[in-house]
Amino acid sequence: MPGIAESDPPEFRPAPPLADQLEVARDHPAMAWFDGIGGSAWPDDLPSHPRLLHECVARFRRGNVAAYIWFERPDWWLQPWKPLRRLDGKWEKFKTLGAALDQLTTPAERVPQRTWWRLWE
């Protein structure tokens, strides 16, 4: 059986494991918030994307908020910062892991603030 060539379309090439990809990006500022890699729901949070139940995802955590990154060929997906134990259906698509990590460090993606009169949201 012939091997996979660089000229083959990306969807036919094996994806490097998530841990390997994160190791390459270890010097990125967002990696300071890296909390681990999980294959299903985290015990202290509710998944808000169906893929978080089935895929290998990287979790980033800052206090009581978390963000998730996973790879689904050919794109990287990011669930932006959200309070733990809160359902949030937002996710964004990126072409590279670096772009997804950059999004975690932009001022608009910093830890969301909750006001005392909106505790139920």
pTM beyond 0.75: the answer is no
| CA–CA distance, 51 with 71 (Å, rounded to integer) | 10
- DSSP class of residue 114 equals -
Regions in the chain scoring below 50 on pLDDT = 1-5, 12, 109
11 three-state secondary structure: helix
Where helices occur in 74-121 by DSSP H, the ranges are 97-105
Question: CA torsion sign, 17 to 27 to 81 to 77?
Answer: negative
| Backbone phi and psi for residue 23, each to the nearest 5 degrees, phi listed first | -65, -40
pLDDT tens, position by position, 92-119: 999 999 999 999 998 754 555 555 555 5
